[in-house]
Amino acid sequence: MQMRLSLHCPRFHRLLGAVCALLACLCQASPAANWSGILSPERAADWSKAGIPEEIPSRTTNWKTLSPGATAEEINSAIASCPIGQVVLLSAGTYPLSSSIDFANHGDVTLRGAGADQTFLIFTQGDDRKGKGSDATDADIRIKNFDSSLPKYKDHSASAPNNSAEWTDGYAQGATEITLSSTANLVPGKSIICLDQLDDSDAASETIWVSQKKGISGVEGPGGAGRKGRAQMQMVLATAVYGKRVTISPGLYMPNWRCSQKPGAWWANSVISGVGIEDLSIDHLNSRSKSGILLYNATRCWVKGIRDLNTNRNHVWFHLANHCVVRDSYFYGTQNKWFLSYGIETYMGADNLVENNIFQHVVSPMIANGTGAGTVFAYNYAVDDYYADDYARRTKIRVWFLAANAMHAAGTDMMLIEGNDSTGLIADYIHGTHNLVTAFRNQFIGWEPGMSRSTVPINLFTGTRYFNLVGNVLGKPGYHDTYECAPPGGKNGNTAIYLLGWSGNEGSSRPPLKDDPRVAGTLVRWGNYDTVTKQAQWNPSEMPSGLVQLANSAPADHRLPNSFYLSKKPSWWGNMPWPAIGPDVTGGDDPTGHVYANPAELCYRSAPRDASYPVDEVGNRILVFNASRHYPPSAAIK
């Protein structure tokens, strides 16, 4: 007897969903070999899927070419009429703009200049909100879909989304099929679902703890991203819908999804996708907009080859964005130089890729201020993380050190920080706890000229659990003199390699927050070279092998892969040493011999300075920048 399945038959959809789930599982599992044998599978993700899976498209057909002096309204009109897969080209010259460039939900188009050293956008007034700064979606360039079904964000508070459901089944780590109480307006292959769950209790858990409670797990309370009281979130694509069952991609990253926390889901009716910003120089100094470039309710969009100067809050904002890319670009300065002064900010995002960029004179160049599961920050160079607090502004003396890579809010989990040449890594105590972030083959020097307070390469505050630190090069020779400072004792909190588990700055306690010995007790440390012991540490006692949950035993040998997300040396790396950082790297050009400059640093060193801008507070100038010209020839952008 033959059995035939109708396309409308529930049995067919169950079978289709099972096949999709199996394929997704197989695809997700295969790249784990990058870190298998070093990290336990439940502590890591498949970071090879970060960014645009099919790569950034190379578009060659120009729809319209605009000349210098074109207004924002003329640029917006050209974008709105641009056919799919084509380019709005801004020819060489200067474009004074008194309002925002807005893609207004018109996707699959590229806005391109003649080069970041040729096409100059100068924003002079900000957008039509007149700089009030109260709307979180205020930006000079908006890649956005203001879907009416989404929460309305204003002053970091959100109304309820129109499309929402209870999530009633399918919580296992890696699961690719879930059950929702409603699937209204879900479109397979197009809808991005935001999965979330209630925060954990105020009592500090002995395992993963997701909390953003003021006075309990943070000094300021929630950072504002996501639905209220639901810091943990992951954005996934609905690949198939059959009844209440939904197949998703990627699978679930975190191991702590559970029914006791009332998991839920919400989604927009539509998203914007396929938008690119390329080869422009953008100056925001006289703009009153909150953000430079906003990616809002966006997927598979990108920023590439730009020079972005003097923004307000941030240069690029991942605000409800997934599988987006920022690469081959240069970011300089912020207007505030104090708080809310960021480079690339992950606010609500997933699986984004920030790769091969230069950050100069930015307070917090790479910051996770909300969920960013699956996101990768890789092969970036950060210099002069300029921070002027009250003391510095009164006395003109800067002493406080801030790390370039920062975890700043609850819900920051399952991210990868790889190959960066930067000042340090901090997981702070401002907006809540952090879990399961991995740093691999970075140089974190923990120092800048003149800085003397909080100058540590790795600073993990209370509530930071299950981090993985593998193959990094840490510290400044002759400056750092203590390996670890952790409660209840500890010394030299400003000159230690590791500052772990404290509730206050510089190895101090800050009631009512409590110090957290679980920070050190859940931490993977393997193969990190430090300038205090002057050797790589392959110490089994620094591996959390005895944990009941998320245990990680010492690897069988000292071999490290070249990358945790790349299967081979990228084509844009050229003939330079690969990998460039790690205990197994020799002959490097830093004092330890374990670090070669990455392409972004070499570009920073060699690019000409722009004499049309004055020197900044530390005596440096803005770069003249063009990715195709100023990156080293051996690392030409492709």
pLDDT over threshold 90, residue 136: no
Rounded to an integer, what distance in angstroms lies between the CA atom of residue 35 and that of residue 579?
15
Rounded to an integer, what distance in angstroms lies between the CA atom of residue 584 and that of residue 594?
7
Asked if residue 346 lies in contact with residue 315, where contact means CB atoms within 8 angstroms, the answer is no
- Tell me what pLDDT residue 67 has: 98
Residues 149-162, mean pLDDT to the nearest whole number: 65
Q: Is 16 helix (H, G, I), strand (E, B) or coil?
A: helix
- Tell me what pLDDT residue 2 has: 33
Longest dimension (CA), the chain: 88
CB atoms closer than 10 angstroms to residue 619:
7
- Tell me what pLDDT residue 386 has: 87
**CB proximity list for 71: less than 8 A, separation 6 or greater:** 97, 98
pLDDT over threshold 50, residue 21: no
How does residue 205 score in pLDDT terms, banded at 50, 70 and 90? confident
pLDDT over threshold 50, residue 86: yes
Residues 540-552, mean pLDDT to the nearest whole number: 96
Nearest to 561 by CA among 525, 600, 527, 601: 527
Q: Is 350 helix (H, G, I), strand (E, B) or coil?
A: strand
**DSSP output for 108-162:** SEEEEES-TTTEEEEE-S-STTTT---STT-EEEEEE---TTS--EETTEEPPPS
Instruction: Tell me the two tokens of residue 234.
Output: 């992951």
Task: Please write the tens of the pLDDT for every residue from 580-613.
Answer: 999 999 999 999 999 999 999 999 999 999 999 9
Task: Please write the tens of the pLDDT for every residue from 338-372.
Answer: 878 999 999 999 999 999 999 999 999 999 999 99
How does residue 400 score in pLDDT terms, banded at 50, 70 and 90? confident
Task: Please write the tens of the pLDDT for every residue from 24-36.
Answer: 443 433 445 689 8
Asked if residue 417 lies in contact with residue 353, where contact means CB atoms within 8 angstroms, the answer is no
**Omega before 488 within 30 of 0, i.e. cis:** yes
81 Cα distance to chain centroid: 32
- Delimit the domains of the chain by residue range: 10-32+156-267
- Of 67-81, 88-102, 393-407, 450-464, the one with minimum mean pLDDT is 393-407
pLDDT over threshold 70, residue 11: no
Nearest to 253 by CA among 232, 228, 226, 224: 232
Rounded to an integer, what distance in angstroms lies between the CA atom of residue 384 and that of residue 327?
20
pLDDT over threshold 50, residue 389: yes
pLDDT over threshold 90, residue 415: yes
Instruction: Tell me the two tokens of residue 103.
Output: 């893609």
Reported as type and span, the H/E element at residue 391 is: helix 390-395
Q: What percent of the chain has pLDDT over 70?
A: 90
pLDDT over threshold 60, residue 505: yes
**CB proximity list for 353: less than 8 A, separation 6 or greater:** 50, 51, 52, 324, 325, 326, 327, 375, 376, 378
Strand 291-299, strand 272-273: pairing: parallel
CB atoms closer than 10 angstroms to residue 15:
13
- Tell me what pLDDT residue 398 has: 80
Rounded to an integer, what distance in angstroms lies between the CA atom of residue 606 and that of residue 300?
32
